[in-house]
Amino acid sequence: METERQFKTENLGLACFLYATNKLKFNGCEYTPGRSLVGFVFDDPKGQGDALRIEFEAGGMVPAASFMDTLRQLRRIMDDCRRGVIFNAQHRRVVNGNRRFT
């Protein structure tokens, strides 16, 4: 049985780049109480995450409006994740004590 490959990052800018460009499918976020950072989780079936991180760090391009829209959306998701609010696959709010955004 093959396990799903995922790419995780705590870098909000990189998460926005991946989300806005649809290079990887956004799968949710993870939060550990007591830490200030939220981890963003993306499906990465082809193992492209590290190469895409390098592309981003080398100046990967995304339209500014898309980046800003994604930044606002991921900040809301991040804040909700810290409060224990998660979303289903259609990004509808579901209150749950679990600190995993799915």
Residue 89 forms part of a structural domain: yes
Tally of structural domains, the chain: 1
Task: Give 54-96 pLDDT, tens digit per residue.
Answer: 999 999 999 999 999 999 999 988 888 888 766 544 444 444 4
Mean pLDDT estimate for the chain? 81
DSSP H or E run through 56 = helix 49-57
Residue 101 forms part of a structural domain: no
Q: What confidence tier does 8 reach under pLDDT thresholds 50, 70, 90?
A: very high
Residue 82 forms part of a structural domain: yes
Residue 56 forms part of a structural domain: yes
- Whether the CA torsion 51, 99, 12, 93 is positive or negative: it is positive
What predicted TM-score, i.e. pTM, was given to this entire model?
0.77
Residue 61 forms part of a structural domain: yes
Residue 102 forms part of a structural domain: no
Closest CA to 63 of 30, 1, 32, 21: 21
Average pLDDT over residues 13-41: 88
Residue 69 forms part of a structural domain: yes
Domain hosting residue 15, numbered range = 6-95
